Amino acid sequence: MNTEEIKTTDIWSLYEKHSNFMSRRNIYTDTDKNFRMYNGDQWYGLKVKDTEKIQNNFIKQIVKQKVSNITSNLFAINYSPENIENSEFFETAQKTCDLLNKKASKVWDKDFMDKKVKKWTKQAAINDEAICYVTYDKENDLPLNEVIAKNDIMYGNENEEEIQFQPYILIRQRKTIIELEEMARKEQIPEELIKNLITDSETSTLSGDSAKDEVEDKAWLITKFYKRNGNVYYSQATKYCEIKKEGNLGTTLYPFAHFNWEDQEGNARGIGEVRQLIPNQIEANKIAMRRAVTSKNISYPQKVVNIDAIENPNDINKVGALVKFRDMGGLRASDVFMTTTPGQMGTDSEKLQNELISLSKDLNNAGDSTTGNINPETASGRAILAVQNAQNQPLNDQLIGLKAFLEDIARIWFEMWKIYSNGLMIEVESQDNITGQVTENLEQIPSFILEVLNTSVKVDITPKGAFDKYAQELSLENLFTQDKITFDEYVEALDTDSVMPKVKLENILKKRKEAQQQIDVLEQQAQVMKNQMQMQMNNRNEIENIALQGNQIIDQSMQNA
């Protein structure tokens, strides 16, 4: 097929305009560089002989520590009603929000949101920005949250950070030709136009070196989202074939949320952690390489030999071998064979290397200390949390940004439930008060209630780091030792993933209860036997009394006679 005779689609022309802009801004090259620096490929493209590419990857250590600090929390979506003006409807609105909170909790678990939150946070730290693309599974009334690479989204205004203010948004996806043909036929595209769906090899701008190699023939699918009269519309096309002319998404919000690691004035995509550490990392690696090469050249003795004066030069490097000299005349042995004295390196390069690494960690609040100068075995839980919170203060901006990001996702969920669900079905757990058995029941929220319901969204954050757990358990332990709570209450208050083995303690309590039940049964049986024996004793005494009375009557009768 002669592609020069086929006209490119309007969406593709717009995509190329943005792609050229991103190339000028080095977004594609910087993405690969940032991930290489994090993953340890910090000497990319360097070719050296006889020397290993030495590196001390402190970038990864800094990023991992910061990401773990931010994501070591429990996040819970909380919908609250705002229909305050309608007092009659407010009770229904409150109950509906309670059901929506349970639905959101189910979505969080089913879509592995804890794992995705960690991935989004890691992406933002490494490459400035993380993006969530929300689609909807109508069959299961379930919003699906996709992780989109920074390279695959383009904003109509690259200077506007607020994603909902964008005039339009482009996303690109690599699809196989078979997938694209199925999409086109579903949209009733004529077969002569479907023939324009051809593969391309434009993978150089994909995020990650491994992504640039593909097994099957693929092509770019470009989707444009835009707003008109307050509603979101979309259209889809490849380079030479228009697949979807226009579709109404039905929502007022773009199905995207993004999280910038740190704001940068005039840049919609922010700035990450790795970018600022690269110069220090490269210089530290260079110093390590120079020290290694210098050490190799001067730190070991080297042989200096007059080969013409030695009969067996091949034995020079053999351990314990006898080296035979020819007739040397007036030459001494040291004139024929000697070893050099190892040299000494200065300590300045080592000091500079260590200083670069330590300063980079300290300035980025990622030093080796995690609890300050406090011994967690002797300190109180409050003291540990106070020091930990003080050290995490510089990460408050990132934590607030992540919280806002998750709230944006929750708003998109609510809009999609309102539009796509025809009576939202929610699984509600109920527990029998007598047997303790838990059952799941389905409750339905009528669509007309969702339409009139106004909500505010808040993400509740519960600290769940190692020292948060330790502090909480230490507080519970203090309450128990002070007889404020019983042992049963202490075990019940422990979290499932607590450091203290809750399951083992519950098994101990269960065995104690079973043993006590057996003791109670034996005591009841013993009491029954005791009562029976007592009754027998009483009956025997009554018989003896009756016999005694009978004898007395007989004696009295005989006396009377």
In a domain, 231, yes or no: no
Dihedral over Cα of 266, 270, 273, 278: its sign: negative
pLDDT at 488 over 60: yes
pLDDT at 14: 96
**H helix intervals, 3-86:** 10-24, 27-39, 58-71
Q: Contact, 381 vs 340, CB < 8 A? A: no
254 or 549: whose pLDDT is higher?
254
171 or 427: whose pLDDT is higher?
171
In a domain, 311, yes or no: yes
Neighbours of 100 (CB within 10 A): 26
pLDDT at 371: 38
pLDDT at 378 over 60: no
Q: What is the pLDDT of residues 185-201, one digit of tens each?
A: 999 999 999 999 998 88
* Burial of residue 375 (number of CB atoms within 10 Å: 0-12, 13-18, 19+): exposed
Query: Which are the contacts of 76, defined by CB distance < 8 A and separation ≥ 6?
Result: 101, 105, 108, 459, 460, 462
pLDDT at 372: 43
The β-bridge relationship of strands 438-445 and 455-463 is unpaired
Q: What is the pLDDT of residues 260-318, one digit of tens each?
A: 999 999 999 999 999 988 988 888 888 877 877 777 777 667 777 777 777 787 877 78
Q: What's the whole-number average pLDDT of the chain? A: 82
Q: Contact, 436 vs 267, CB < 8 A? A: no
pLDDT at 272: 93
* Overall average pLDDT of the 80-94 stretch: 78
* Overall average pLDDT of the 522-532 stretch: 83
In a domain, 372, yes or no: no
* Overall average pLDDT of the 391-417 stretch: 88
pLDDT at 496 over 50: yes
Dihedral over Cα of 545, 548, 552, 553: its sign: positive
pLDDT at 158: 95
* Overall average pLDDT of the 120-143 stretch: 92
In angstroms, what CA-CA distances link 200 with 3, 177, 278? Answer: 11, 10, 34
Which residues of 40-114 form beta strands (DSSP E)? 73-81
State which residues form the domain around 309: 303-339
* Burial of residue 337 (number of CB atoms within 10 Å: 0-12, 13-18, 19+): middle
pLDDT at 373: 47
CA 3 to chain centre: 44
* Overall average pLDDT of the 56-70 stretch: 88
454 or 231: whose pLDDT is higher?
231
Helix, strand, or coil (residue 351): helix
The band of 217, judged by pLDDT with boundaries at 50, 70 and 90, is confident
Question: Among 68-82, 94-108, 174-188, 295-309, which range has the highest average pLDDT?
Answer: 174-188
The band of 369, judged by pLDDT with boundaries at 50, 70 and 90, is very low
In a domain, 331, yes or no: yes
pLDDT at 307: 78
* Overall average pLDDT of the 311-326 stretch: 79
Q: What phi and psi values does residue 245 have, to the nearest 5 degrees?
A: -70, -50
pLDDT at 150: 95
The band of 12, judged by pLDDT with boundaries at 50, 70 and 90, is very high
pLDDT at 55: 81
Please report the DSSP string for 191-208 in residue order: HHHHTT-------TTSSS
Kind plus residue range of the DSSP H or E element containing 429: strand 424-431
Q: Report which of 218, 213, 212 is spatially closest to residue 198, judged by C-alpha positions.
A: 218
136 or 395: whose pLDDT is higher?
136
Q: Contact, 252 vs 228, CB < 8 A? A: no
pLDDT at 108 over 50: yes
pLDDT at 370 over 70: no
CB burial string 354-367: b at 16+ within 10 A, e below: eebbeebbeebebe
Lowest mean pLDDT among 42-46, 99-103, 243-247, 539-543: 539-543
In a domain, 185, yes or no: no
pLDDT at 171 over 80: yes
* Overall average pLDDT of the 37-55 stretch: 79
pLDDT at 467 over 60: no
Tell if the pTM clears 0.85, that is, is over it: no
460 or 299: whose pLDDT is higher?
460
In a domain, 325, yes or no: yes
Neighbours of 504 (CB within 10 A): 10
pLDDT at 35 over 90: yes
What domain count does the chain have? 1
* Overall average pLDDT of the 153-160 stretch: 96
Question: Among 222-231, 303-312, 493-502, which range has the highest average pLDDT?
Answer: 222-231
pLDDT at 368 over 60: no
Tokens of 52: 């290993």
In a domain, 473, yes or no: no
Which region holds residue 365: left if phi is over 0, alpha if psi is between -120 and 50, else beta? left
In a domain, 153, yes or no: no
